Amino acid sequence: MSGRVVDYDSVADGFDRRYALHTYSGVRETLLDFVGSEKPAAILEVGCGTGHWLDAVIGLSPFVAGVEPSFGMLSRARDAVPGARLVRARAETLPWRDASLDRVFCVNALHHFADRERFFAEARRVLRPGGGLLTIGKDPHAERDEWWVYDYFPETLKIDRARFAAVRTLRGELSRAGFAWAESSEADRIEALMPAGEAFAGGMVDRKYTSQLTVLTDEEFKAGVERLRTAGAGRARDGGTLDLITDFRLYATVGWTT
Ligand SMILES: C[S@@+](CC[C@H](N)C(=O)[O-])C[C@H]1O[C@@H](n2cnc3c(N)ncnc32)[C@H](O)[C@@H]1O
């Protein structure tokens, strides 16, 4: 389903840079709201990466766990969230018993899973009645986003449209997997304007910065860097600066069991 596959071991060291650049406050709020204030007995993040979001929920349940296939990401999560139970596994085969968890969530991870519908069936299987699944991610089908990555590396938008499903597709798949009801909402809007020179100096024009750039071929990546440099030189000749625009939304889709 994901087409081009990202080697997360090779990007693990620079992954958390995104959390220094943006607060993702809408994601945090949505996640805390989903977990709720009644201390659910067991929470699992699937595709937990370096553990950033496990750290946000660690005090909210007596059992907080993460599943992650990349050794590099998992070892960072072990250091970041020692209180979480961390397991090297994949979304498509969750190592938990039937009806043993109350909340399952993924942040910016679903588009990497090899078989999304199999994951939804697994999530449904491991959730207790009244349990919920939350997934937060982009919807490049909504055509509301502006992002320098899509502008200067045009292959990335086509790749994203293939690996991300529209939120209404996700709701249909949740319903087929046996969730009683599902709903979607806008969780966050990531906005920034950065001079291209700063983006280069800050390591953002880098294959490791975001998976959209990681999955490009060397030729596609080099061609995009060349486009950026040419546009930057054109602005400089006119006495200006090339600004890179980031303005995209992250959507939450939640399914509940009965
Ligand atoms: C963009 S990162 C997000 C990490 C974390 N959720 C966050 O938001 O900081 C996507 C993660 O999904 C993981 N992943 C990829 N394929 C997976 C699969 N089949 N099952 C579970 N996780 C997977 C990757 O290894 C990576 O750590």
- 3-class SS string, 6-50: CCHHHHHHHCCHHHHHCCCHHHHHHHHHHHCCCCCCCEEEECCCC
3-class DSSP state for residue 132?
strand
Tell me what pLDDT residue 4 has.
82
Helix (H) or strand (E) holding 83: none
Residue position matching structure tokens 């959507």: 251
Structural domain span for residue 16: 8-256
Query: For residues 15 and 49, is the Cβ–Cβ distance under 8 A?
Result: yes
∠ CA 200-9-66, nearest 5°, is 115
Report whether 79 contacts 59 (CB < 8 A): no
- Give the tokens for residue 165: 């499903």
The pLDDT profile of the chain, 258 residues, written as one tens digit per residue, is 547 889 999 999 989 989 998 999 999 999 999 999 999 999 999 999 999 999 999 999 999 999 999 999 999 999 999 999 999 999 999 999 999 999 999 999 999 999 999 999 999 999 999 999 999 999 999 989 999 999 999 999 999 999 999 999 999 999 999 999 999 999 999 999 999 999 999 989 999 889 999 999 999 999 999 999 999 999 999 999 999 999 999 999 999 999
Ligand 1 pocket test, pick from 9, 48, 164 with the greatest ligand atom count within 8 Å of Cβ, gives: 48
In a domain, 58, yes or no: yes
pLDDT for res 5: 87
Q: Are 103 and 132 in contact (CB under 8 A)?
A: yes
Q: Flag whether 29 is in a domain.
A: yes
CA distance to 56, 220, 225, per residue, from 215 (Å):
28, 10, 15
* CA distance linking residue 209 with residue 206, whole number of Å: 5
Note whether residue 3 is domain-resident.
no
Tell me if 222 is assigned to some domain: yes
Evaluate: CB of 111 within 6 angstroms of ligand 1.
Answer: no
Q: Which of 68, 105, 136, 163 to mutate to test the pocket of ligand 1 (most atoms within 8 A of CB)?
A: 68
Query: Counting beta carbons within 10 angstroms of the beta carbon of residue 258, is it exposed (0 to 12), middle (13 to 18) or buried (19 or more)?
Result: exposed
Label residue 185 exposed, middle or buried (CB < 10 Å: 0-12, 13-18, 19+).
exposed
2 in a domain, yes or no? no
CATH number assigned to the domain comprising residue 172: 3.40.50.150
140 is a domain residue:
yes
Residue 1 lies in a domain: no
Query: How many domains would you assign to the chain?
Result: 1
Strands 127-137 and 243-256: antiparallel
Q: Is residue 59 part of a domain?
A: yes
Is residue 114 within 6 Å of ligand 1 at its C-beta?
yes
- pTM, to two decimals: 0.96
Q: How far is the CA of 55 from the centre of ligand 1 (A)?
A: 15
